[in-house]
Chains A and B, each alone.
Chain A
């Protein structure tokens, strides 16, 4: 054992001395199958990928770990295509986006969209005021909790439309549904979300 080595890992050591490898250097080492560089690759990018996936898979947080691993394995398969034009984290998030959309597509194809019990009601037309009533952090927490409590199709359509910023047409094409069906689903999802939001606000 090398007793003279400081009790600090390479990643921290390099960061502390400002000698962190550039993304391109790191990728080159990973492509040569350097195990420590591979560890640095995971340490450098896992937080971003995890944060993104965790927030996009609500309410299926049970799938987060598997998807994060799948993203890294897909990244390894395509790592030779990384050119360093953007940060490595962003490149990985690009892969993550594709994987998340694959998940949305699969779920909306599998799950029934029409719920006879849940027709559009004459519901609250006013949208709640975000700025005045809630601190940002609380708004984020409410959002996640409400998304978790909604039927999965509702969470998926809201996340896909507003978080991933996909148009109704794009979602319709990807899921093989009509645009009208997607629009109706989105309207019901919005309505349920707002209803639950207003209930919380009323009891606050």
Chain B
């Protein structure tokens, strides 16, 4: 199997309803370090991630995986800000995703149970997924993505709706998925989370990729005035 990464973005723009949401973003996302896409609400982070994952097509520009496109979509997964669960058990939700990826029979069941175990939800395997708490549902969403054994996992503000303790659990799982060898690409507007979970930062401001740096450098000596203002919690439009 040929390498999936790096993912190349060439002059990617996206406009909707006459508004430019992404403005000529060019970059390359390589294997290894955890990439955090950082920016304020409405900066275009989620749209950028959806374009990378193939849920949206760029208005202009192109994205290219290192491998053929149809194969590329099979080898990545995404976890959304608000998990969407089907009206069936926690275990069956994971099995559904595996079956969609053509994993069936005993292997499907084994992988689904293993994934539940990874996120500590084994005792709730038979519970209907939709009546789990918000934190449990997000862990289940991570298990569902993990069971697919993706090479790249996109996470769109995975803890934005969660309380601090559920956030810690979700962050621990993301670390474990990274440690198991999956490339992590995550959006957040939370500076603490970017420091905890990021190796490199892509800073997006008003649809433009303003800065890209290792997390340490980014927070110590931001190169752009926009990033500097964002870190200091200033309002750039004030």
Binding partners A and B: no
